[in-house]
Homo-oligomer: A and B are copies of this chain.
């Protein structure tokens, strides 16, 4: 038997496009002599469809797309993820389903048992968990067919009280097929491989795994679909960050024969880089835009953002705007120009002095002679925001936000100013890692001028300002933030790691009191296990560590 795995980039709610892609691969697999072709979890709708799932109209559209696709499965069978209505009168209205199509029809539905409902996942919001366990019989084989999280309950303190593979193992399955929607983070490939390996070994079964690829707003699906033998050895890996399609001979898989292919275990910084590039590219493509605008300050964050955007969209499609004020240093402008020239990106210099002094004049009678303070700093950032948005409106650019995770965490940024943008590229990348990214971008030749990487970071919103005036050094800051945000450690645990108590309390307080700012920031490309956005839900009006 030959089994094809189709790792595709879907567009949420774009049924005609998703359907066309799927049918194309079915036809392709058929021609290549495959018996079965497997698509990812909720492939037909794209993942995550979120509250579109609450619309009966949306589910009906999924159903009819699946029906139409089934019509193409005459000499070949297919497995496709789709939401279906719960046929029972009790429980949530939907099941997250793997539909088995053959002989021109939907033959059977296999429901998902374990519904992830943590971090960015909300599946229990929509779906009833499966309670019936059956293998899929196909061409003399018993297939343990399940969906993503169904294989993930293998930790020491399992999150769920049931394990679907335990329920089905008595029916003597010959192998496992798992269809998934497992988003990238820079630890995820290792964790995922280990989870799949545990299953293959525990149940002594070969395993076919099909994931999504492509970006869905903030969520980055890396693909990395794979085939393992019953010992947990990887027989073949599919590409990361791009579509892929492979046909496997089941005999060879059962024999544990390695099939030549890629390896996805690359340095963390390379994976983050590729993930971000894909995130930018797909965001623009799927929205039907081609050109980005951004404010190039001469600092490292906007430089790295511009370089990533240039790779994603083409150099010519990234419009850099330098917006010097009376406090900008000359090296900032020079460095920004050099970067634009290095990468052949169009740029303009727009001085903000005129609007700044107009605002000063307009506001003077109302400011009661109070001294220059954070107000005037924010004013500059907001004027830049207004200019960038005006150009974006006039010419149809999407503004890229250039804030990094460290400053987003502590609220070091101006709401409606430098926090503007349609998409935050670096909002899940700590400052220390932004430097790593810059070095990685420069691995072959200088894209980002050395001076941008080596000079001390500054917002340049008042004379002689440096980030370290108001923030701890980034090494300590990032490590404390990581412990608090990614690892959910409390102040006691972090202090016990050897950090200064006052510093820890100060940083945690900054994080918690700035929740209101992050509430209004653009979607952030997620590359870590805990990004700001949908996966981290914090009260705004609260008093905890604040």
Contact = CB atoms under 8 A, between A and B. Distances in A.
A57 to B, nearest CB: 3
Which of A56, A93, A520, A536 has the most chain B CB atoms closer than 10 A to its own CB?
A520
Contact of A520 (B12, B354, B522): B522
Contacts of A359: 354-355, 386-387, 390
A81 interface: no
Contact of A375 (B13, B390, B422, B493): B390
Nearest to A47: B539
A266 interface: no
Interface in A90-143: 90-93, 117-118, 122, 124-125, 128
Contacts of A363: 350, 387, 390-391
A543 B14 contact: yes
B386 A370 contact: no
Interface stretch (A21-29, A246-254, A377-385): A377-385
Nearest to A354: B358
A540 B217 contact: yes
A161 B124 contact: no
Contact of A11 (B282, B352, B542): B542
A378 B393 contact: yes
Contacts of A268: none
A351 interface: yes
Contacts of A420: 415-416
A355 B520 CA distance: 25
A46 interface: yes
A404 interface: no
A413 interface: no
Contacts of A385: 382, 416
Contact of A52 (B521, B534, B544): B544
A520 B118 CA distance: 22
Interface string A352-371: 10110111011100110010
A541 B124 contact: no
Most buried by B among A50, A93, A128: A50
B157 A90 contact: yes
Interface in A50-80: 50-52, 54-58
A216 B118 CA distance: 22
A462 interface: no
Interface residues of A, number: 96
Contacts of A545: 13
Contacts of A534: 537
A412 interface: no
A544 to B, nearest CB: 3
A158 interface: yes
A90 B379 CA distance: 53
Contact of A12 (B122, B283, B541): B541
A355 B56 CA distance: 49
Nearest to A379: B390
A516 interface: yes
Most B Cβ at <10 Å: residue of A283, A491, A522:
A522
A423 to B, nearest CB: 9
A504 to B, nearest CB: 12
A406 to B, nearest CB: 20
A543 B13 contact: yes
A14 B216 contact: no
A91 B375 CA distance: 49
A262 interface: no
A538 B350 contact: no
A538 B13 CA distance: 11
A488 interface: yes
A471 B125 CA distance: 34
Contacts of A357: 358
A542 B46 contact: yes
A69 B71 CA distance: 66
A341 interface: no
21 contacts: A52-B538, A52-B539, A89-B157, A91-B159, A128-B161, A217-B539, A217-B541, A283-B541, A352-B362, A354-B362, A355-B358, A355-B359, A363-B391, A367-B394, A375-B390, A375-B394, A378-B390, A386-B416, A389-B415, A416-B416, A534-B537
Given A11-B543, A375-B393, 5 more contacts: A12-B543, A355-B355, A373-B394, A519-B523, A520-B521
Interface of A: 11-14, 17, 46, 48-52, 54-58, 89-93, 117-118, 122, 124-125, 128, 157-161, 215-217, 282-283, 286-287, 348, 350-352, 354-355, 357-359, 361-363, 366-367, 370, 373-375, 378-379, 382-383, 385-387, 389-391, 393-394, 415-416, 420, 422, 488, 490-493, 516, 519-523, 534, 536-546
